[in-house]
């Protein structure tokens, strides 16, 4: 999830919720959250999902866990599709189609690689990917 979108969500909801950011140790940090960046067991991760009141996720293992627990969540999609990897249970927010196409030639499961290789990212700005105000409206209360 783009840092600008994540921080906008935190700014809107941090007075109402205790927000936990689950991240890799080298992932970006957000202001106003409890950050968990050390490796957790599956039991610990699944327990966090089960105990959470709301969940804002990306297409990752945790959105599958939330679906397994029948916990509707908001899931952001950029390089993959909820039609293939998602669940109707979730509020799926899909990135706008990029204005330029530079998909990986050998890609058959994922359209883009978002692993720090900017040359493979088809977006020039966050607003090309998501409209922040529209995204916040889709989150509801």
Q: What is the pLDDT of residue 86?
A: 92
- CB atoms under 10 Å from CB of 50, counted, come to 12
How confident is the model at residue 139, as a pLDDT? 80
Q: What is the pTM of this model?
A: 0.80
CB 108 within 8 A of CB 89: no
Domains of the chain: 3-139 (3.40.50)
Q: Is the pLDDT of residue 141 over 90?
A: no
In this structure, how many other beta carbons lie within 10 angstroms of the beta carbon of residue 1?
Answer: 19
Distance CA 70, CA 47 (A): 14
Give the list of residues 6+ apart from residue 53 with CB closer than 8 angstroms, or none.
Answer: 17
The pLDDT, as a whole number, for residue 78 is: 84
Which residues, 6 or more positions from 83, have their beta carbon under 8 angstroms from its beta carbon? none
């Amino acid at each position: 999830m783009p840092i600008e979108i994540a921080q906008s969500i935190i700014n809107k909801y941090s007075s109402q919720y205790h927000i936990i950011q689950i991240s890799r140790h080298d992932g970006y940090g957000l202001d106003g959250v409890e950050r968990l960046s050390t490796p957790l067991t599956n039991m610990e991760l699944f327990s966090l999902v089960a105990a959470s009141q709301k969940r804002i996720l990306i297409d990752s293992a945790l959105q599958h866990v939330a679906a397994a627990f029948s916990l509707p969540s908001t899931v952001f999609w950029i390089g993959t599709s909820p039609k293939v990897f998602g669940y109707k249970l979730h509020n799926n927010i899909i990135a706008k189609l990029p204005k330029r196409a530079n998909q990986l030639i050998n890609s058959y499961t994922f359209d883009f690689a978002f692993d720090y290789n900017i040359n493979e990212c088809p977006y020039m700005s966050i607003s090309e990917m998501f409209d922040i105000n529209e995204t916040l409206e889709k989150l509801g209360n």
